[in-house]
Amino acid sequence: MATTESKVDLKTAPHRGDHSHAGRTNAAARAPRPQRPKPIIRGQDGTQWKDIYHYVLIAPWWQFILGLAAIYFALNAVFAGLFMLDPDGIANGRHGSFADAFFFSVQTLGTIGYGVLAPKTRYANIVVTVESFVSLLNLALATGLIFARFSRPFARVVFSNVAVIVPFEGVPTLMFRAANQRGNQILDANATVSFARQVTTAEGIVMRRFEELKLLRPRTPLFSLSWTMMHQIDAASPLYGADIDTLHDQQTEIIVLLSGMDETLSQTIYARHAYSPDDILFDRRFVDVLTSADTGRMVVNLHRFHDTQAWTPP
């Protein structure tokens, strides 16, 4: 077996191995890949400012909390400035004191009312009335946003860090697997696998093309433990006849989309993952992660979920 071969034909690779990947250790295979950065979109029509609700839902929690705090302090500063227009409008407050006006606004906005500071003039009472109404709106919006963030459904589905190509029923087969970390049932789970690559048309136009990789089992009525997805590389497969160099040159990706109904949330959840050519291992197979406990319950060992071992012909 020659070890200097630079090209790997996917039609025969499972039977002879890819020497560029054979030396990869399981620890390296488990190393998570950095997430792809979000694309930069230029030339928007200006309506992105109408989509603040979407940004609030996807923003990290630290940004969300900082945003709420900034709005809270800004509101109090604005109303403190309004109270300052009437320096003697707050009973027991120091004349012209912004600090007293600010803390009185905090008590009003939070409906605290310690009884020390109180509105004294008609103008101060009007400002308190307006601030009380703003407080109701602010509390309702903040409560709704926090609830929306907590109640947003998401999947705790983990995909194997690598995909493998080994013979299955005598045909080279692309395999990768997914596991439901919650352990509950995902009903009517569906998986769609797309093969994305950069192609040049006869007219010289460079475009991104997506082709479906048909799975042997694209749907499962119940997904609770582990699911190995398989695509046979036959003459009808977009991967047929490709080699590693071609996959790199065409900037290919294997994109997996999984959806299903979470029985606990009673909502549809989604998960996705992408494999690059460097994530494909040849002549390797996944180690078994399913065992049975003494009580008869199934056990999924996610510690070895990404591990592979050498495959040898029988």
Q: What is the pLDDT of residue 26?
A: 41
Quick check: 31 and 160 in contact, CB under 8 A?
no
Quick check: 263 and 186 in contact, CB under 8 A?
yes
Q: What is the pLDDT of residue 55?
A: 85
Q: What domains, with CATH codes, occur in the chain?
A: 50-151 (1.10.287.70), 155-310 (2.60.40.1400)
Name the nearest CA neighbour of 256 among 296, 227, 284, 281: 227
Report how far residue 251's alpha carbon sits from residue 245's, in angstroms, rounded to the nearest whole number.
Answer: 10
Name the nearest CA neighbour of 19 among 4, 40, 39: 4
The model carries a pTM of 0.70
Q: What is the pLDDT of residue 126?
A: 94
Tokens for 9, please give them.
Answer: 């034909």
Q: What is the pLDDT of residue 5?
A: 35
Q: What is the pLDDT of residue 39?
A: 67
Q: What is the pLDDT of residue 7?
A: 40
Q: What is the pLDDT of residue 224?
A: 84
User: Residue 37, Cβ neighbours under 10 Å: how many?
Assistant: 6
Q: What are the per-10-residue average pLDDT scores of the chain (314 residues)?
A: 39 40 40 60 65 85 94 95 91 90 93 88 93 94 91 88 90 92 90 91 86 93 90 91 84 93 89 92 87 77 88 77
